Structure 1
Amino acid sequence: MDHSGHGMTMDLPPFTLARGLQWSTEPFFLTACLLALALYGWGVLRLRRRGDAWPPGRTVAYVTGVLTVLLTMCTELNDYGMVMFSVHMVQHMIISMLSPILILLGAPVTLALRALPVAGRGRRGPRELLLALLHSRYLSVVTHPVFTIPLFIASLYGLYFTPLFDFLMGSRVGHIGMMVHFLAVGVVFFWPIIGVDPGPHRPNHLMRMLELFAGMPFHAFFGIALMMASTTMVRTFENPSTSLGVDPLSDQNAAGGIAWAFSEVPSVLVLVALVFQWYRSEQRYARRSDRAAERDGDRELEAYNAYLASLHARSR
């Protein structure tokens, strides 16, 4: 299939889900996804051999996350996404709002830190480089909400409502670059909010929820803008091939509906994960307090009782 020009040289039959899910290799994403799965698998095996446990839930989340990228980029969805706005929007939503959350819940950085060998004294191996990156100024800037929230919003408005989108869709490299950008923006946006991995910003759970909700209304509004538009907004999808049998305006409205509806999906996913993480951190805190009480014979409680008794004596 020819992806040159604006993808208009492709005469695809009308879109159906069955057609969309047929295999259609995209070499860059296929290689990246297989490599990502292989490295994660290597890490888990290495821990196992050492006798260390790794939560199976993390592996499931990570593998599912990478498979959603594969499904989005290495099927006919990718071909239809070049010529239909609605299919492109499905790709964009999955790769920027679903895949990053699942990948982050897999805690790949934590796995790497535990699985990579420590380099000898004075030497810098992959583990040392990863640690240096985690503590770097660069990472603390790109994962800060002051940076991630505007970036998340600009990735929608700055891309679709300017000529940049048409320019990127004009070539295969541009299209791949755009998809990599969507995935990266999703990762840096959701990392401080939901990431299990260590990172420069670890706000409390309430702040995380606020960060999540700061970005979502803009997302919903973007969807509504596309749904309500009475003219086509993006040149790439203005003249779909007759073989597709789609009306560009109703296809654009459908794309808006997808963007609008999808802004709810990560919100629900993230909220469930956050509540669960919150509950677990509270439990850990309670267990620590119990252990401390056992060690010092509940000194805190005794001190409090003595304080009450002194108050009582004073009032008398």
Structure 2
Amino acid sequence: MHDHPSHHMPPASIGDWIPLVIIVFVGLLYSFGWAYVIWKKRNWNSARGISFLIGTLLLFIAMWPDLVKWAHHDLRGHMVQHLLIGMFAPIFLVMGAPVTLALKTCSKNIAEGITYLLRSFFFHIISHPLTAMFLNLGGMYVLYLTPIYNATIEYPILHHAIHIHFLMAGYLFTWAIIGPDPAPARPGLVTRLAVLFASIAAHAFLSKLMYAHLYPLNSPHGKEEIQEAAKLMYYWGDLSEFILIIILFALWYYKRGRPGYDLSPLLKWS
């Protein structure tokens, strides 16, 4: 690995802990909503709550100061962080159905506002699997195939902005494919499956491009480091997408009520 100034990072500052505080706050907020639903004796499967808290735990690990420092100067650490924030955490967060929980716990006015947003034309367009795929994968292509990645090393604020994009785009894409929350006019299985396979192919192509041509270009990372990061993206990205396929088909079987496939303990989310 090449030595460069960004390798010598200062000790963790107060600002480094702010993302962790936010993540803990979100986890507690969800937990309070979960407890409120139980107190009101409304239907709620505990698998939802467990799933969401696992997602927040993955985010907590991804934003732990030591991992953040590793990710800032080592492309392998960056890739681990990207996988946790943009691919694995969103699966568990989405399956926690936070929108459904909000509708069950918020005031009538807030619930009506959420419902209005879900039914809006803007949300229908942005949450379409194809749009979500372009927002998700497009961000990756722009980051790794342009000078933007090198800029994130020099400007930490840009690095944090990339984290936010990874999380939001990854969550939106996952929600568009397997989200259990209410979604008027959500495309059917064939459309979602086609987009998911297209996403898998595009993600694999990007990782191979990075491996073969050593993207991001002109970065301070050596050849071996870049290729190891590309392999992390390829194999672990495949795993997260394989999980999405399994969940998508499992939900489809459950909704069709196929005999011999009693998946209700795992998939009955309400």
**Alignment match of 1:174 (pick from 154, 158, 162):** 158
**Alignment match of 1:115 (pick from 100, 105, 118):** 105
Contact 1:169/1:236 (CA < 8 Å) preserved in 2? no
1:28 correspondence with 2:18: yes
> Which range moved further: 48-57 or 202-211?
202-211
Q: Report the AA paired with residue 188 of structure 1.
A: L
Contact 2:79/2:232 (CA < 8 Å) preserved in 1? yes
1:10 correspondence with 2:9: yes
Quote the RMSD (CA, aligned, Å). Answer: 2.4
1:217 correspondence with 2:207: no
Deviations 1:88-145 (A, max 9, x none): 0111112111111110000000010011122xxxxxx332322222122221121123
Distance change in 2, residues 1:166/1:79 (3 Å): same
**Alignment match of 2:249 (pick from 251, 272, 275):** 275
> Which range moved further: 165-174 or 218-227?
165-174
Unaligned runs of 5+ in 1: 13-23, 119-124, 239-247, 286-316
Identify the residue that residue 262 of structure 2 maps to in structure 1.
Answer: none
Distance (whole Å) between structure 2 residues aligned to residue 200 and residue 143 of structure 1: 11
1:37 correspondence with 2:21: no
Number of paired residues? 255
Q: Report the AA paired with residue 140 of structure 2.
A: L
Distance (whole Å) between structure 1 residues aligned to residue 143 and residue 61 of structure 2: 23
Q: In structure 2, the residue corresponding to 1:193 is in which secondary structure? A: helix
Identify the residue that residue 73 of structure 2 maps to in structure 1.
Answer: 83
Alignment of 1:90-239 (within 5 A): 90-118=80-108, 125-229=109-213, 231=214, 233-238=216-221
Q: CA deviation at 1:280?
A: 1.6
Q: CA deviation at 1:59?
A: 0.9
Unaligned runs of 5+ in 2: 260-270
Q: In structure 1, the residue corresponding to 2:183 is in which secondary structure? A: coil
Distance (whole Å) between structure 2 residues aligned to residue 96 and residue 77 of structure 1: 15
Q: Report the AA paired with residue 19 of structure 2.
A: F
Identity %: 26
Q: CA deviation at 1:201?
A: 4.5
Distance (whole Å) between structure 1 residues aligned to residue 41 and residue 87 of structure 2: 35
Q: Looking at CA atoms only, which structure, 1 or 2, has the larger radius of gyration?
A: 1
Q: CA deviation at 1:6?
A: 7.0
Q: TM-score, normalised by structure 2?
A: 0.86
Q: In structure 1, the residue corresponding to 2:6 is in which secondary structure? A: coil
Identify the residue that residue 122 of structure 1 maps to in structure 2.
Answer: none
Deviations 1:246-287 (A, max 9, x none): xx11000001101111221122211221222112211299xx
Contact 1:85/1:237 (CA < 8 Å) preserved in 2? no
Distance (whole Å) between structure 1 residues aligned to residue 198 and residue 190 of structure 2: 12
Q: In structure 2, the residue corresponding to 1:26 is in which secondary structure? A: helix
Distance (whole Å) between structure 2 residues aligned to residue 283 and residue 116 of structure 1: 32
Q: TM-score, normalised by structure 1?
A: 0.74
Contact 2:129/2:192 (CA < 8 Å) preserved in 1? no
Q: In structure 1, the residue corresponding to 2:239 is in which secondary structure? A: helix
Contact 1:81/1:88 (CA < 8 Å) preserved in 2? yes
Distance change in 2, residues 1:67/1:234 (3 Å): farther
Distance (whole Å) between structure 2 residues aligned to residue 201 and residue 176 of structure 1: 34
Distance (whole Å) between structure 2 residues aligned to residue 154 and residue 6 of structure 1: 30
Contact 1:92/1:182 (CA < 8 Å) preserved in 2? yes
Distance (whole Å) between structure 1 residues aligned to residue 49 and residue 5 of structure 2: 38
Distance (whole Å) between structure 1 residues aligned to residue 215 and residue 8 of structure 2: 20
Contact 2:147/2:216 (CA < 8 Å) preserved in 1? no
> Which range moved further: 152-161 or 76-85?
152-161
